[in-house]
Structure 1
Amino acid sequence: MKQLVGTGVALVTPFHEDGSVDYVSLEKLVNYNIDGGVDYLVILGTTAEAATLTNDEKKKVIETIKKANNKRVPLVLGIGGNNTAEVIKEYQETDLSEYCAILTVSPYYNKPNQEGIYQHYKAIAESTDANIILYNVPGRTGSNIDPETTIRLANEFKNIVAIKEASPNFLQSTDILRTNNREDFHIISGDDEYALPMVLAGGSGVISVIAQGLPQLFSSMIKEGLNRDVNAAYEKHYKAVEITRAIFEEGNPCGIKTVLSNKGICSAQTRLPLVPASEELTNKINQLLINI
């Protein structure tokens, strides 16, 4: 799974001012990121506001990205949820042949214990031959995948190939790195500010939000980190750290859409219940971008 080494980008879904999906801007976004040097693209993740898209819109988003990509970089598809049976059904009804892996978020809202999380992923792994990336994001799901559960799943299911780790506790990530004995299991940062420290600690890279706004800067930073060019990598890290923090001040993806609007890629429009960045945050982001 070398396709998962480096910088992956969790693509937004651009919208017109009337709230409809802007597929032209989505195509522009794909080209902007590939030209900027990112290593793979993630479709219909949390950043894509996938929860607000209709099934028909999701299908058209997928087709637009696949067409624009034209097999230039690997693709990862987001399929997850808090109803295990429905997640398995979606796996079985989706053609997964064009994706190097499927990103599957830990069950949200239900707040299962560790055994419940294990059984959820076990049922999914046994239902498919597709490569699976676990996604731990406690700030959204209301529960955490403990390092022991991650290692247990990695050791028992070969098609569980990675974890996107977005726990706010960086020690959790290092515990996984420290105790993982499987050479082909990837630990991927799900937090942009921790991306470089994660890589330097032994991680495989990042699935990033900010990188789609600053693809050249961020992807080159990750490459330098992987090559242990530490000083050059940290120079870029510190250059990007303020904008990385700013885009999450009012939630994701309103901040990154403000960056993309500034770059002329797409509008800053979101769908309810999310709203665009405030005027104050927009001004702050635009000011920070002047010096990057």
Structure 2
Amino acid sequence: MNKLRGTGVALVTPFTKDYQIDYEGLEKLLHFTLTEGVDYLVINGTTAESASTTQVEKEQLLAFIKQYVNGKVPLVYGLGGNSTASVLESIKATDFTGITALLSVSPYYNKPSQQGIYQHYVQIAETSPVPVILYNVPGRTGSNISAETTLRLAKHNNIIGIKEASGNLEQCMQIAKNKPAGFMLISGDDMLTLPMLTFGAEGVISVLANAFPGKFSKMVRLGMDANFTEASSILFELVDINPLMYEESNPVGVKAILEMFGICSASVRLPLVEASPSLRDRIQDHL
């Protein structure tokens, strides 16, 4: 899946001030990220506030983005949940025309065993009409996909990679060391992307690339070319603003930046709320 190497953007879902989907803002965001050279787009992920968009809205967003992108870059669609049966039904009901891969988050809240996680993903891989990327984000799900489970799943012919956002570099190294050829290790943590590139990661699915697509894409390309000195200089420009993106939960921080850039409003849906005045001031200072 070489087409998914490099920088993928975990797209936000722009909302109007009355919390409807802002398609004008979405069009601006798509134009901004694509003209700045990102490699692919991720739709309906955590950053898209997928937990608070309806099924109808998800379908409309997917259709709009497909039409706008029109094959210019690959599209990855996020679809996961904590009920395996419900995820399988959602997969069957989704139009995957024009979708390169499915990104599926590990089951949250249930805290399944490693065997439960394994069986969950096998069912997804057997059902999905497109290749599957695992998504490990213990900070949100409450459980970790161990390196052993990832490597076990990597043997499945319809599982092509993992977005690793555990923050555990040793775990990521175990995956990189032992994974089969062709299985992709993708960073799910913007600030760990460059270190992960040094030992075999093939890119990132990024939050910050919504707001800094050109800068982030350049950093990743330099890292993949082993130009770590120049890549690090770009990373250091972003290292102070990155924690502000998560201080009041993602995508609150990055949407505040996008509003400052005139791309879309900072509106988020409850239970999230817009960035506090203090956070906005500190973001503005860093910008």
After TM superposition, the score normalised by the length of structure 1 is 0.96
Equivalent residue for 2:225?
A: 227
Kindly state the Cα deviation for residue 71 of structure 1 after the two structures are TM-superposed: 1.2
Quote the offset at 1:129 in angstroms: 3.6
Matched, 1:78 2:78: yes
- What are the Cα deviations for residues 241-275 of structure 1, in whole angstroms up to 9, with x where unaligned? 11112211111000000111111110111000001
Distance across 1 between alignment mates of 2:124 and 2:140: 21
Q: Deviations over 1:35-84 (max 9, x none)?
A: 11100000000100011111221111112211221211100001100110
2:24 corresponds to 1:16: no
1:276 alignment partner in structure 2: 274
Contact kept, 8 Å, 1:31 with 1:69, in 2: the verdict is: no
Q: Secondary structure at the match of 1:242?
A: coil
Partners of 1:68 and 1:282 in 2: how far apart? Answer: 31
* Displacement after TM superposition at 1:161 (Å): 0.2
Q: Identity of counterpart residues, as a percentage?
A: 51
Instruction: Give the residue type in structure 2 aligned to 1:116.
Output: G
Map 1:161-200 to 2 at 5 A. Answer: 161-180=160-179, 182-200=180-198
1:9–1:207 contact (8 Å) kept in structure 2: yes
How many residues were matched structurally? 287
Distance 1:53 1:36 in 2: 27
Name structure 2 gaps, 5 residues minimum.
none
CA contact (8 A) 1:31 1:68 kept: no
Q: 1:25-174 alignment to 2 at 5 Å?
A: 25-155=25-155, 157-174=156-173
What is the CA–CA distance in structure 2 between the aligned matches of 1:122 and 1:74, rounded to whole Å?
A: 24
> Which ranges of 4 or more aligned residues in structure 1 deviate by more than 3 Å?
none
AA at the equivalent of 2:89? K
User: What secondary structure does 2:95 align onto?
Assistant: coil
The 8 Å contact of residues 76 and 100 in structure 1, kept in 2 or not, is answered as yes
User: Over residues 73-114 of structure 1, what are the superposed CA-to-partner deviations in whole Å (9 max), with x where a residue is unaligned?
Assistant: 100001100110111111112121311100000000110010
Task: Quote how far apart the aligned CAs of 1:148 are.
Answer: 0.2
Q: Which amino acid aligns with 1:231?
A: T
Residue 242 (1) aligns with residue 240 (2): yes
| Structure 1 Cα separation of the partners of residues 277 and 139 of structure 2 | 25
CA distance, structure 2, for counterparts of residue 55 and residue 246 of structure 1: 30
Q: Which string of whole-angstrom CA distances, capped at 9 and with x for unpartnered residues, describes residues 99-156 of structure 1?
A: 110000000011001000001011111223410000000000000000000000001x
Contact 2:9 2:38 in 1 (8 A): yes
SS of 1:72 mapped into structure 2 = coil
Report if aligned partners of 1:193, 1:245 keep a CA contact under 8 Å in 2.
no
> Cα–Cα, structure 1 residues 118 and 191, in superposed 2: closer, same or farther, change >3 Å?
same
1:220 CA drift (Å):
0.4
Distance 1:94 1:113 in 2: 28
Does the CA-based 8 Å contact 2:9-2:205 persist in structure 1? Answer: yes
In structure 2, what is the Cα distance between the partners aligned to 1:48 and 1:213?
A: 14
* CA RMSD across the alignment: 0.9
Q: Is the 8 A contact 1:26 1:64 kept in 2?
A: no
Q: When the two structures are superposed, what TM-score results if normalisation uses the length of structure 2? A: 0.98
CA shift, 1:168, in A, is 2.1
Letter in 2 for 1:203: A
Task: Give the alignment partner of residue 205 of structure 1, picking from 192, 198, 203.
Answer: 203
